[in-house]
């Protein structure tokens, strides 16, 4: 009887498991870039990511992190005409915002450098990047430490006619979703951040909570 119960529970987890396909149609990705520790759904139209997803664990998040940041670089696996360049963000008024966060992967020089590929970077309003979105990044590390592991999906939303920056006309997102989950322990939380903020005064992580079902395709 116990063996039968375990089998039923395992089937239940696989049946209702959270997956990138719940939130984005991978057929819309012009290119899926596998950086080993995270994956990027890349759009040639926007010259930026539509989504980035990865897993975190307690072991890596407990390690001493490398503080020196490497340089940003263009992703050579993307055809030249669709690549973002470092200069595209310069003097644009937007930060080079990570989707797979630098600090999540700063436990080794190899993994940290992967996050500085410009395929993993989007134009983020400075306050969003440095003060608001960063709270959700700290939270995903906290959950990995608390539960032993978690999975993260970052989804980028673009308006119908996005603003463009730089010589290569990189699209500016309208907002960002972050889904943090651990199916085995029944944990899932979703957040949304608009890509423009006048002030961060009084902002809290809970202010950005949204119903995960509303994000699913």
* 20-38 pLDDT tens trace: 999 999 999 999 999 999 9
Is residue 117 included in any domain, yes or no?
Answer: yes
**Do residues 190 and 150 touch, judged by C-beta distance below 8 A?**
no
Geometric angle at alpha carbon 203, from 134 and 91, rounded to 5°: 55
For the chain, the farthest-separated pair of C-alpha atoms sits apart, in whole angstroms, at 66
- Residue 150 host element (H or E): strand 149-157
Q: What is the pLDDT of residues 33-77, one digit of tens each?
A: 999 999 999 999 999 999 999 999 999 999 999 999 999 999 999
Q: Locate 185 and state its tokens.
A: 């322990």
> What b/e string do you get for 55-85 counting C-beta neighbours within 10 Å, with b at 16 or more?
ebeeebbeeeebeeeeebebbeebeeebbbb
Is residue 92 included in any domain, yes or no?
Answer: yes
The total of structural domains in the chain comes to 1
- Looking at residue 190, the DSSP 8-state letter turns out to be E
Is residue 4 included in any domain, yes or no?
Answer: no
Is residue 8 included in any domain, yes or no?
Answer: no
Domain containing 75: what range? 20-215
Is residue 167 included in any domain, yes or no?
Answer: yes
Q: Locate 55 and state its tokens.
A: 């897993």
**Which percentage of the chain shows pLDDT scores above 70?**
92
Is residue 59 included in any domain, yes or no?
Answer: yes
Is residue 211 included in any domain, yes or no?
Answer: yes
Name which of 4-13, 15-24, 153-162, 184-193 the model is least confident about: 4-13
**Do residues 49 and 156 touch, judged by C-beta distance below 8 A?**
yes
Looking at residue 204, which CATH number applies to its domain?
Answer: 3.40.570.10
Geometric angle at alpha carbon 140, from 165 and 214, rounded to 5°: 70
Is residue 12 included in any domain, yes or no?
Answer: no
Q: Is the pTM of this model over 0.85?
A: yes
For 29-145, strand residue ranges (E) read 31-34, 38-43, 48-57, 95-98, 121-124
- Rounded Cα–Cα distance for residues 176 and 206 (Å): 15
């Amino acid at each position: 009887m116990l063996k039968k119960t375990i089998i039923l529970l395992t089937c239940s987890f696989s049946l209702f498991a959270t997956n990138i396909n719940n939130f984005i149609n991978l057929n819309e990705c012009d290119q899926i870039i596998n950086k080993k520790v995270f994956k990027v759904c890349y759009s040639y139209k926007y010259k930026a990511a539509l989504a980035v997803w990865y897993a975190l664990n307690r072991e890596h998040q407990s390690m001493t992190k490398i503080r020196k940041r490497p340089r940003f670089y263009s992703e050579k696996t993307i055809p030249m005409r669709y690549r973002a360049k470092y200069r595209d963000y310069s003097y644009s008024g937007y930060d080079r915002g990570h989707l797979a966060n630098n600090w999540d992967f700063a436990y080794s020089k190899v993994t940290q450098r992967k996050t500085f590929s410009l395929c993993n970077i989007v134009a983020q309003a400075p306050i969003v990047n440095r003060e608001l979105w960063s709270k959700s990044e700290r939270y995903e590390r906290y959950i990995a430490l608390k539960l032993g592991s978690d999975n993260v999906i970052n989804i980028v939303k673009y308006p119908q006619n996005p603003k463009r920056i730089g010589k290569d006309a990189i699209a500016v997102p309208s907002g960002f979703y972050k889904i943090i989950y651990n199916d085995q322990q029944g944990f899932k939380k979703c957040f949304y951040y608009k890509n423009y903020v006048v002030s961060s005064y009084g902002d809290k992580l809970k202010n950005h909570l949204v119903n995960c079902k509303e994000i699913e395709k």
